[in-house]
Homo-oligomer: A and B are copies of this chain.
Amino acid sequence: MRAEIITIGDELLYGQIEDSNSPFVAEKLTSSGLKVVFKTSVGDDITRIAEAFETARSRVDVIIATGGLGPTSDDLTKKAIVKTFKRNLVLHPEILKNIEDSFQKRGIPMPSINQNQALIPQGTKALSNLWGIAPGIFLEDENTLFFALPGVPVEMQWMLENEVMPMLRAKRVSGSTGAESFILHRKLKTTGISESALFEKIEKLIDPKEEIKIAFLPTLLGVTIRLTMESEEKDPAETKLDEYERKVREILGSLIYGVDEQTLEEVVGRLLFERKKTIAVAESCTGGLLGSRITNISGSSRYFERGVVTYSNQSKTELLKIPPEDIEKYGAVSKEIALLMAEGVRKLARSDFGLSVTGIAGPTGGTPQKPVGLVYIGFAYERDSFAERFIFGQDRRSIRERAAQAALNVVRLFMLNGQRI
């Protein structure tokens, strides 16, 4: 069954808020094996809402609409249902009684405007609303299953899970479509390699006839490889995804740092914890972001000893014992200073590892020799230390985010491969 999600409300088109309802609905539908093929947002305009319903009716089997069921004049979903599906509104005495009861329970007189909420298009089923007043609406029209839900997230979520999903499951079992199909995903997360370089490496695995589809999703912190498989049975599909993942991993090795929702700080934290290693960080351009990433993880106090944000040169000298003449000679953003910062913080904290970041986050402060985006990452351990040079593009925020990610990756690769990257 193909589905379309329609979210209704002017605020969705002003762009000030993200629409959190449609990802929630999409995830529920997808994990139950429906295929969401379109998502549409439309404002509080009866003609356009009806147009969106009409378009959806022509192209999908299931429509889930959210929003526009409130009592006020900008709530137009029911009128658009009347227009699209040619039904009249009729007063539903049982719903009216429920609404009256709920006001009585709260000891508030019912505003007359709330009576409107007991008007329901003829021949439709009201869906109960645990958390609010407005009932949802279900109607079946030729081959379309149409559901209208409230826009308030908590009301919508309860109604979707407790009213809509059971009906959809029942429809699918009784329908003639036969067995259900599931869409399964596996996400393999990489960092430090471009989308096209990844593609070239695993291109030979990509076969249009293959039932597992592969997609490359670039983000600021790295490229995620997403494997997708549609199947009628969950377990054999998981096995096939496992096999495919193994083939990808054979090629990419430690370029993959995690799976699905794993973060790099989680992976690095687990490695540090398992190997009983402690770490301390010295940051300049990231200003605390690297420490913040590491301590995102509950329990990080077992391996994270301390951090210093040595923003001024004086703080580098005082806390990390870096000679001022070295800063003068090499510049604060240099391989030499990155090494001294990593060694200095390791000594200060008496930790196993010292990690440092120094760079030019911009937008000002760049020179032809040392452009904005230049970042050195230093790493010190018992026997030695090394530093890596990076050039990150884009704006201040991105440079800092990418520098922290690269620093975490230096630690991961050192622990996996026992050497520098």
Contacts and interface: CB of A to CB of B under 8 A. Distances in A.
Contact of A295 (B10, B11, B281, B288): B288
A22 B185 CA distance: 24
> Do most interface residues of chain A lie in helix, strand or loop, or is the interface mixed?
mixed
A23 B12 CA distance: 8
Interface in A174-221: 183, 185, 187, 194-197, 199-200, 203, 206, 208, 213-218, 220
B296 A309 contact: no
A37 interface: yes
Given A307-B287, A395-B154, A196 B16 contact: no
Contacts of A152: 218
A301 B306 contact: no
Contact of A113 (B20, B200, B208): B200
A77 interface: no
A71 B45 CA distance: 39
A363 B30 contact: no
B199 A72 contact: yes
Interface string A4-23: 00000111111111111011
Interface of A: 9-20, 22-30, 36-45, 48, 51-52, 55, 59, 70-74, 106, 108, 111-114, 131, 152-154, 183, 185, 187, 194-197, 199-200, 203, 206, 208, 213-218, 220, 226, 228, 281, 283, 285-296, 298-301, 304-312, 314-315, 318-319, 348-349, 361-364, 391, 393-398, 400
